Structure formats: C-alpha cells, structure tokens
Amino acid sequence: MRNQSQEIEGSQRPVRALGSTEHLFWLLDRNRPTHFATVAEIDRRFSPDAWHTAFQALQRRHPLLSTRIATDAQQNPGFYRVADAAVPLRVLEQDPASWQAEAAREIATRFDWSAAPLLRATLLQGECSSTLILVAHHSVVDGMGSASLIDDLLRMLSGERLAPLPLVPSLETVLDTDLNHAAVLPAPSPAPAPKPFRPDAAQAPHVDAIALSADVTRRLIVRARVEQTTVHGTIVAAVHEAGRRLSSGWTERALRTVTPIDLRGLSDDARAAAGVYITQTITIDDYPRGTDVWTAARKIKQDLAPSQARASVAAELKALDAVMSARPSVEHAAGFLSAVLAFDVMVSNLGNQPIASQYEGLSLKALWGPIVTSGFADDQVIGACTIDGVLRLTHTSHGAIRGLLEEVRAILHEAVS
C-alpha cells in the first residue's frame, strides 16, 4: 500500500470528488486503520460462485463499489472507477458461529485505498448455514450503508434482480443548501488531555460478542421508554458503569463517548443510501461509579439531542468543510482526533431492524457490528444491533477491558428486573 497520495493521469476523470466527511475518514485511515466489519449469519449455504455472482450484481447496483481513491494534480482526492474490479472473497469451511477471530483478522488487515474495490468479504461455511463478514473502507460506506449492502446481497441470493442505482452523492452535497445557510461555529474546545494512538502494527484486536435474550431486549425497550430515555442511551450508561467496575482508570475521570449519528432521515436522497451519511458527537459522563443507570441514560439522551437537529448538523458539516478545503495532512487529521475528540468509548448503534430478517428461501439469523477501531491505544468500541427482537453487542479494542460485555449484560439485566 502506498503511504503517499497516488496521483492519477490527467486524462482520467473521477467518478466524483470525496466529500469532506469521506475525506476525513480517508486521512484518518492513513494514520491508523478505520475500516470496519459487519457480520451477518444466515441459515443457508450457497456456493462460492453464487456469492461471486451476487457481489458482481452488487457492484453494478452501487457505482462506488468499483472505485479506488486517488488525487489529481491539485491534491484533490476523488473516487476513480476501475473496470472489472472484483470484490475479494475468502471462503472458509469452518463453524459459522466462530466468526470473532476472522473478524479480528480482517480489522488487522489494512485496505490499499489506491486499489479498487474498497470492499472485501470473508465467508464462513457450515453444513447448512453461513456467516458473511463484510469489510469496508470507511470513506465509501458507513455502518448503516453496510447493512443495506448485506440486505441487497441476501435479496440477490434469494433470486431478486435489483436495478442499478444512481451514483451516491456525498453528505455535504445532499445538505448543500443547509450548509450555505448554516451558522459559523467557533473552533472546537480541546479535550482535557490528548489520547495516544496505539503502535501502527498489524495486530488483531480483541473482538467479543453477546446477545441478550428476546425477553430482556423487550423489557429494555419498554423500560427505556418509561424512563424517558433511549435504548442507545441505556447501552452507553451500562458500558460506562461496567467499565468503572472493571477499570480503576475509568473511575478517575469523566468518560468521553462518541456516538455516530445516522443522518439519512434528513433527506429523501439519502434515506436508503449505501454511502457515508453520519456525523459524530461526544458526550461526557462524570457520574461516579454506582450511579443509577436510568439517571445516566437520561443525561446521555439529553446531551445527544442538540446534535441531531438539522441546523446543528449543518453547522458541524460547514465547519468540517472549511477544514477540509485547506487540504490538511494526515498528521493534522490525526491531531484533531487525538486532541479534540479524544474519546474513551464509541457506541455505534445500527438500531432496531435496520434490514429485513426474512428473504425468499433464507433467513438472516443475526447481524453483528459495526466492528471497528479508531486507532487509540485504549478505546473500547461497542457495536449494537437489534434483529427480530434480540439486541446483540460487539466489543472491539486493542487495549480491551476484559469482561466488559458480560458486565454490561449483568447491568442491563439488573436495570430491567
């Protein structure tokens, strides 16, 4: 993989330029890998040829899935189409339920962003079931977009023919009018202390996963509503309390958590788009260990609310646009992540039933993720997704707090008892 930007020949035109959010992810990935995995368990086994055919159809449907990233003579990054760029697919004959080690291996394996496509997959095949690990560069798609790609793949495997879609515009293009009228924000305040990055080595992270029972998931949804908070806020609060119980370092400081906010609801053009349509918001929890989970969850919901407003989103994107227009270096982008975001936890929640679970002749049994790391030495990344009434959580980290998810499970059980 090339460490420096690869310039393209002047005769080649990009499919389109990277938007500011995509540009930032590209820079951050060059500092430490930020690509991610989403894991789908299905109750059928298909031949490798069937999967290859489905991926070819997926690329015809989504133009950005046949591109690479390169820069022009002015150092403007863009997506450039590469004909016949097939999605790499590893097929392994092993227990489809034992996917964590392969997911960790994928997170440890960087993308070469200068080569198409920016998507790859690993398939674990059992006798009558399969697990797909879909891995994507974060400049081309986000977690919700990855889920929609899995939905397309399962529909294609079940026999549907899906028409090609128009080129996905950048988030900033979709909200261009809003950005033109957005307020100008002051420079962001730095975190109390910058976060150090882990060594830049191809080491596999710790990946763990748990599923709550359908009964506990149902009670959690009902109780969160009664307590005037959200399931997401409750998960974050439970992660904080679990970490304080297991890590003395977490009891000594306020915890900073980043939540990716899905913005597809702001525009019909982005509602079902397989692109990058997120912003990220920091919340700070300075409650002591032992605080009531519902009290902390209500505060988290309250703190997230302003960042979900259209005007706030537009102002944040306008500020990012201004920064990216100056063509910052990889080091500048990494410095922003370390000094301003500087989070302890990321909780990325795909929500309740982001895609279908029943298809013609097959069923989606579980959807896990997103599985990702930020590059910090000690970040704890929690993925959340609810399918068919079952909440599933993943934990990814290079400096994992061991037993974190089991402690989260115990806290959530106690909270709904």
Bridge partners for 383 per DSSP: 348, 394
Residues 77 and 144 placed together within one structural domain of the fold: yes
* 150 occurs within a structural domain: yes
What's the CATH number where 254 sits?
3.30.559.30
- Residue pLDDT, tens place only, 323-374: 999 999 999 999 989 999 999 999 999 999 999 999 999 999 999 999 999 9
- Residue 213 pLDDT: 98
Residues 129 and 215 placed together within one structural domain of the fold: no
- Residue pLDDT, tens place only, 255-313: 999 999 999 998 887 777 899 999 999 999 999 999 999 999 999 999 999 999 999 99
**Exposed / middle / buried, residue 52 (Cβ in 10 Å: 0-12, 13-18, 19+):** middle
Residues 296 and 227 placed together within one structural domain of the fold: yes
Residues 136 and 216 placed together within one structural domain of the fold: no
Domain that holds residue 59: 16-169
* 201 occurs within a structural domain: yes
Residues 236 and 87 placed together within one structural domain of the fold: no
User: Average pLDDT in the 204-222 region?
Assistant: 98
Which value, in Å, is the radius of gyration of the alpha carbons in the chain? 21
pLDDT exceeds 90 at position 189:
no
Residues 293 and 391 placed together within one structural domain of the fold: yes
Residues 140 and 259 placed together within one structural domain of the fold: no
Residues 209 and 141 placed together within one structural domain of the fold: no
pLDDT exceeds 90 at position 26:
yes
Among 169, 184, 204, the domain-final residue is 169
* 293 occurs within a structural domain: yes
* 54 occurs within a structural domain: yes
Structural domain tally of the chain? Answer: 2
Residues 134 and 243 placed together within one structural domain of the fold: no
Three-state secondary structure readout of the chain? CCCCCCECCCCCCCCEECCHHHHHHHHHHHHCCCCEEEEEEECCCCCHHHHHHHHHHHHHHCHHHHEEEEECCCCCEEEEECCCCCCCEEEEECCCCCCHHHHHHHHHCCCCCCCCCCEEEEEEECCCCEEEEEEECCCCCCHHHHHHHHHHHHHHHCCCCCCCCCCCCCHHHHCHHHHHCCCCCCCCCCCCCCCCECCCCCCCCEEEEEECCHHHHHHHHHHHHHCCCCHHHHHHHHHHHHHHHHCHHHHCCCEEEEEEEECHHHCHHHCCCCCCCEEEEEEEECCCCCCCHHHHHHHHHHHHHHHHCHHHHHHHHHHHHHHHHCCCCHHHHHHHHHHHHCCCEEEEEEEECCCCCEECCEEEEEEEEEEECCCECCCEEEEEEEECCEEEEEEEECCCCCCHHHHHHHHHHHHHC
- Residue pLDDT, tens place only, 226-248: 999 999 999 999 999 999 999 99
* 394 occurs within a structural domain: yes
- Residue 3 pLDDT: 43
Percent of the chain with pLDDT over 90: 89
Residues 147 and 260 placed together within one structural domain of the fold: no
* 51 occurs within a structural domain: yes
* 4 occurs within a structural domain: no
* 299 occurs within a structural domain: yes
- Residue pLDDT, tens place only, 59-116: 999 999 999 999 998 889 999 999 999 999 999 998 988 999 999 999 999 999 999 9
Residues 288 and 406 placed together within one structural domain of the fold: yes
- Residue pLDDT, tens place only, 128-182: 999 999 999 999 999 999 999 999 999 999 999 999 999 999 999 999 999 999 9
What's the CATH number where 141 sits?
3.30.559.10
Residues 222 and 162 placed together within one structural domain of the fold: no
